[in-house]
Amino acid sequence: MPRLLALSFLGLLATACAPRRPAPGAANEPRPDVVLEGAHLRSYEGDTLQVSGTASRVNYRRAGGEVQATEVVVRLPPGKGSPEGSGADTLITAPNMDGSLASKRWVGSGGVVVRTAEGLVANTPRLTYDSNARRAHGDEGVTMRGPDYQMRADRFT
């Protein structure tokens, strides 16, 4: 009996120590090098803050500088094209954001909302942002509301 109990215990231990199988759909997905929970993000160009924000989770892969984040809130400080004296940030929220530190391009998906200092609120399923050009574009439609207008378009820049 003790031998049977010992064999059962060893079998249970071997099962518990076996490598876990990847979740469905994650079989082709490489494991991230770094995972951050509750991340605060800041990106600088020299001494100038270009982007700041938060994400509930960030996965980073060193190869290619790939980043995947969830529940993202990004603040873009006023740029050269901002109205004089506005001093307010543009706020972008997205359930998912993928990008590359190397290319400085980011894709927000899952229902992206953009709020500007001028009172514009734009909603789109997907938005691509180029940090170098400080421009966003999308081909999946957008609705926009302002202080005294509302409009819809199939694509935007």
pLDDT of residue 26: 53
Give CA separation, 74 vs 29, 38, 87, 100, 115, in Å: 26, 14, 16, 15, 11
* Its pTM surpasses 0.75: no
pLDDT at residue 122, as a whole number:
95
- Report the pLDDT value the prediction gives residue 51, as an integer from 0 to 100: 82
pLDDT at 87: 63
- The predicted pLDDT at position 101 comes to 81
Per-residue model confidence as pLDDT tens digits over 8-44: 333 333 333 434 444 444 556 678 889 999 999 888 8
- pLDDT reported for residue 41: 85
Q: Which residues of the chain have pLDDT under 50?
A: 1-25, 81, 84
